[in-house]
Chains A and B, each alone.
Chain A
């Protein structure tokens, strides 16, 4: 074999274990559940190999599933907007801060390492009937007795914001750091106010980061089932909870496959649109 041919083969040898893993553990399984979604669930024993539209008919026409899908998208959208409103100014402050930047950065990355389940359940300590807020309000006499503030849609959104905010801050921060600061100075020296310089120079230039952060918040938010199980009431199920119910509780795997694929198509479409207009590189920058 020539040296060139060996050179050309080397990267593929290095890539093949990872590519094989992704193919066998992600893409083939995804294709498999496409097939599985046409099978028929059997109450006793193994599911029946078939080509039936029954699961898809149920998943696509039942108003119950549609309403929960729409509600899930609504919750994810609100979460994303709140994350942007909280995260953008904070990221801007850190990026422009003259203070202890390494420390601020560390604080920014730290929440990623604090367990998701701990962060989610920590709100029970704050908002539960014997939590910090109730104790405080009863203590100062604003409430005569504790009220239940947990287990509703608002607390689900609160939990999601708490979980996803670091993704927003980090992505916006990365894109703000990439902007040449002299641009803002140039704008002000040409007569723009600092606010104008921000809205007309910095903000537009940081939009890719904001978009990347928003995409992550939305997709991760819309795909969760743990947060509603811990912080939501019985009526706050999100779409992923339906998947969990079908697969784990009811053991209706064909229906669960169809529901999973619905979620994948809806969220995948968002990722595809994002990729079409902004490309994946911004997203990878924020993650890496």
Chain B
């Protein structure tokens, strides 16, 4: 009896989680020109309008470039650090780990203010550079945590075998370690991209006037009223941020099975 009640409760929690999102997707296909109920018919016109909206397309381009560069830098820094933490005995390791995840222990709004004021002092004004640096520092801890968790699972003896068979450390890294690490690296990069793509708290502080990312674009559109276009944009965002990681997950799994990991 208790179990059935618990199942029902959990179902309700999932409903709470997903129902509002489902409504966004549903309304994005509403033919009505108001972004609300009642549904007056099924139409894809808002997606067409979306594709013709210059401001939104610009925001998409900014977000994609920003996310890709963030992922590239953050993953490079994060993978190196994770390697050091997993593969070596480093004195004061717990302190170093805590230092490295500090950017997510500090409230993001405080990080945003500190970085904005400091870089402004260094004459780096609100700019794409500031935005990029902000996103890198904010995503770095996540990359380190994700990569670290997966690196632990890679067995050291495969590398030792390669070395004992005459491979140099550099050869071993590129031919053994890196391919084995690839799923972890991809997972880290994807994570960094998704977090960057979704960020608004820091972005609103760092972005220069006139530059919008997708979330800040949605935010400024919300100031008027909720339009069907926002719901359509939301649907695209959901497909991107949910679809991409799922794809990545599948890819990582495929790679992992092929390399026998």
Give the interface of A toward B (CB within 8 A). 7, 10-12, 14-15, 17-19, 21-22, 25-30, 32-33, 36, 86-87, 89-90, 92-94, 107, 110-111, 113-119, 121-126, 128, 130-132, 134-135, 162, 165-166, 169, 194-195, 219, 222-226, 230, 240, 243-244, 247-248, 253, 256-257, 260-261, 263-264, 267-268, 271, 275, 280, 284, 287-288
* Contact, CB under 8 Å: A194 / B2: yes
A3 to B36, CA, bound (A): 69
Q: Does B242 contact A (CB under 8 A)?
A: yes
Residue pair A125, B145 in contact (C-beta under 8 Å) = no
Given A25-B137, A119-B21, 11 other A-B contacts at CB below 8 A? A15-B85, A17-B76, A22-B100, A29-B117, A89-B9, A89-B13, A115-B234, A122-B24, A224-B201, A264-B106, A280-B94
Rounded to whole angstroms, the CA-CA distance of A219 and B110 in the bound complex is: 12
Bound-state CA distance A162–B23 (Å) is 15
Q: Is the CB of A116 within 8 A of B24?
A: no
The residue on B at minimum CB distance from A121 is B222
The reply to whether the CB of B67 lies closer than 8 angstroms to some CB of chain A is no
Are A29 and B118 closer than 8 Å at their CB atoms? yes
Q: Contacts A122-B234, A260-B110, A264-B107; is A115 near B140 (CB within 8 Å)?
A: no
User: Is A125 a contact of B201 with CB atoms below 8 Å?
Assistant: no
Please report which residues of chain B, range 51-108, place their CB below 8 angstroms from some CB of chain A when the two chains form the complex: 76-78, 80-81, 83-85, 87-88, 90, 94, 96-108
Q: Tell whether, in the assembled complex, residue A243 and residue B109 are in contact, meaning their CB atoms are under 8 Å apart.
A: yes
From A21, A33, A116, A261, B140 is in contact (CB under 8 Å) with A21
In the assembled complex, the CB of B225 is this many whole angstroms from the nearest CB of chain A, namely: 9
Instruction: Return chain B residues, CB-CB under 8 Å to A118.
Output: 21, 24, 218, 234, 237-238
Q: How far is the CA of A115 from the CA of B27 in the complex (A)?
A: 17
Q: Are B113 and A257 in contact (CB under 8 A)?
A: yes
Contact of A18 among B9, B144, B237 (CB under 8 A): B144
Q: What distance in Å separates the Cβ of B139 from its nearest Cβ neighbour in chain A? A: 11
Q: Interface code B17-46, partner A: CB below 8 Å = 1, 0 otherwise?
A: 111110110010000001111100000000
Contact B80 A15 (CB under 8 A): yes
Query: Of residues B2, B97, B242, which shows the largest number of chain A Cβ atoms within 10 Å of its Cβ?
Result: B242
- The answer for the CA separation of A61 and B83 in the assembled complex, in Å, is 48
Beta-carbon contact of B100 and A268 below 8 Å: no
**Contact-residue bracket for chain B:** 35 or more
Q: Which residue of B lies closest to A229 (CB)?
A: B219
Measured in the bound complex, the distance between the Cα atoms of B80 and A14 in whole Å is 5
Closest CB-CB distance, B256 to chain A, in whole Å? 15
Name the A residues within 8 Å of B118 (CB-CB).
Answer: 28-29, 32-33
- CB closest chain-B residue, reference A123: B20
From A124, A132, A223, give the contact of B226 (CB < 8 A). A124
CB neighbours of A115 from chain B (8 A) = 198, 215, 234, 237-238, 241
**Given known A-B contacts A90-B13, A119-B21, A244-B109, A287 and B140 have beta carbons under 8 A apart:** no
Does B131 lie at the interface of the complex (its beta carbon under 8 Å from any beta carbon of A)? no
Q: A36-B117, A113-B241, A125-B27 are in contact. Are A11 and B90 (CB under 8 A)?
A: yes
Contacts of A253 on B, CB cut-off 8 Å? Answer: 117
CB-defined contacts of B198 to chain A, threshold 8 Å: 115-117
One digit per residue, 1 when the CB lies within 8 angstroms of any chain A CB and 0 when it does not, for chain B 206-220 equals: 000000000100110
Instruction: Flag if A223 contacts B117 (CB, 8 Å).
Output: no
> Which residue of A114, A119, A244 is within 8 Å of B204 (Cβ)?
A244
| A225, B111: Cα distance in complex, Å | 14
Chain B residue numbers with a CB within 8 Å of A19 are 81, 96, 99-100
User: What residue in chain A is nearest B137 (Cβ atoms)?
Assistant: A25
Is B174 close to A, CB under 8 A?
no
Per the bound structure, the CA–CA distance linking A118 and B21 in Å amounts to: 8
B181 contacts partner chain A, Cβ-Cβ < 8 Å? no
Determine how close the nearest CB of chain B comes to the CB of A141; give it in whole angstroms. 16
Contacts of B19 in A (CB 8 A): 126
Nearest chain B CB to A199's CB is how many angstroms away?
Answer: 13
Query: Are A26 and B102 touching (Cβ within 8 A)?
Result: yes
Is the Cβ of A288 less than 8 Å from the Cβ of B99? no
Complex CA distance for A222 and B200, rounded to whole angstroms? 16
* Interface contact B110-A263, CB-CB below 8 Å: yes
Chain B min CB distance to A256 (Å):
6
- Select which of A14, A17, A256, A280 is within 8 A of B101 by beta carbon: A280
Q: Are B231 and A114 in contact (CB under 8 A)?
A: no
Q: How far is the CA of A214 from the CA of B144 in the complex (A)?
A: 23
Contacting residue for B200 out of A33, A165, A226, CB 8 A: A226
- Give the docked Cα–Cα distance between A247 and B36 (Å): 35
- Establish whether residues B222 and A230, one from each chain, have CB atoms under 8 Å apart when the complex forms: yes
